[in-house]
Structure 1
Amino acid sequence: MRKSIASYLMLTVTICILLFVSFSSNEKIDLSKYSTAGLELNYTVSQDHSIKDDALASKDLNKPITPILGKSFVGFKEALAFKESRGDYFVVNTLGYLGKYQFGAETLKLIGIHNPSLFLKTPELQEKAFVANTQRNKWILRRDIKNFVGKKLNGILITESGILAAAHLAGAGSVKNYLRSYGIDNFEDSYGANIEYYMKKFSGYDTSSITANKRAKAI
């Protein structure tokens, strides 16, 4: 036991002396002598078995991970896309509507797209088409937005985003009819979705970044 204590004391004294000499010396240390060249630096860290393999991963690999977008414009378009197609760029429904936002061929022509096949294969173009169509609808409905936003029809608070979402579903003309009939003329599509449902579901998003543009084009 004494021998062990003496060894530790000797080691401590030696270290102190070396540190003193090192700090008191003005001699510069040549770091070039200390190099990792030629050494194998590939290391393998063993797995921590207390962490499950899927702890940080989505259990459904086919389910996209999306951030919380709130009531932003991106939140608006992604929520609408999920309602239309569950966000699938490449889907065609039974009525022939195309892509993530379910555009009809005639609507695409209005915003400069004349090749539906190319449109379906090009996600970037679909995003541009959504913005262009929304800009166009905002221009067509500009007076109705001014006159009806903030009012209630059939118990539904009218907002700009609700109007634009309904226009995406039914067309700007049908939304005009709904608003100007004070909620009597409620268009419904072949799947049972109607203007009032879209007005309510997509109410209160920030669409102020969309500028009204009569001649908006995706291409």
Structure 2
Amino acid sequence: MFKKWAYYVSITIIIAFLSSGFKPFSLEAHDWFNTSGEDKLSYNYPSLVSADYDNQKIPFTAKFFVAYKEAIATRESQGQYKLVNTFGYMGKYQFGKSALRAIGIRDFNNFLHNPRLQEKAFEALCARNKYELRDEIAKYEGKTVSGIKITESGILAAAHLGGAGSVKRFFKSNGRRYLRDGYGTSIRSYMRKFGGYETSGIVADSNATVQL
């Protein structure tokens, strides 16, 4: 009987000893960890000033000129340098032969197999169109025409599709003319889709040609 009593006493003492090593769990607030407020649990970075993490000097990369080029290339050819469509437009940006001649390219086979030349050609044509449409850019940029917010990049994209003359006719009609390419794509759609990109680095040049 004594042994049995001693056994139970020993167990009780051991449990009491182990229990004394634990404290009730409680959440505490620190500078980096909060337990109050609407969100209950929240974390702070080393600085509690959120503005310290907002670098306003870094632009949205998706609107860089390189992104602009790739967006147009994807729409034109899915980015294929050697593509020639049923109307004879060729390359990653689907140039017509007359446009290529205007920027100094006459060896069309070389053009089709020269990615670097195609990239330069796109920039040269943008420079020419920017010069040709300088008045329209100055007059309409930032305005809304026929439900479209007009931007320089949108104007240049529309000119790439249908030529500078088509863009001028679009504005003269106050956006009422639906000018389209051979596949039915309207310059309105390009003006809207490719608006807001960074094209200020393109210098307007009436005589822009490709220099390699």
Distance 1:151 1:69 in 2: 24
- Confirm whether residue 209 of structure 1 aligns to residue 201 of structure 2: yes
Aligned length: 152
Q: 1:184: Cα distance to partner? A: 1.7
Among 53, 72, 97, the alignment partner of 2:64 is: 72
Divergent runs of 4+, >3 A:
none
Q: Deviations over 1:170-218 (max 9, x none)?
A: 0001101101211022210111110110011001001000000010001
2:93 maps to 101
Matches within 5 A, 1:26-175: 69-175=61-167
The letter for the 1-side match of 2:207 is R
1:7 maps to none
Distance 2:178 2:69 in 1: 22
The letter for the 1-side match of 2:208 is A
Distance 1:162 1:148 in 2: 11
User: What is the DSSP-based 3-state SS (H/G/I as helix, E as strand, rest coil) of the residue aligned with 1:100?
Assistant: coil
User: What is the DSSP-based 3-state SS (H/G/I as helix, E as strand, rest coil) of the residue aligned with 2:185?
Assistant: coil
Distance 2:98 2:177 in 1: 23
Distance 2:61 2:117 in 1: 22
Distance 1:180 1:139 in 2: 18
2:191 maps to 199
Query: Matched residues, percent identical?
Result: 53
User: What is the DSSP-based 3-state SS (H/G/I as helix, E as strand, rest coil) of the residue aligned with 1:178?
Assistant: helix
Q: Deviations over 1:134-185 (max 9, x none)?
A: 0000000001000001111111100000000000000001101101211022
Distance 1:128 1:75 in 2: 15
Q: 1:69: Cα distance to partner? A: 4.6
Distance 1:98 1:164 in 2: 19
The letter for the 1-side match of 2:63 is K
TM-score by length of 2: 0.70
- Confirm whether residue 189 of structure 1 aligns to residue 167 of structure 2: no
Q: Specify every segment of 5 or more residues in structure 1 that has no aligned partner in the other structure, as ranges.
A: 1-67
TM-score by length of 1: 0.68
The letter for the 2-side match of 1:195 is I
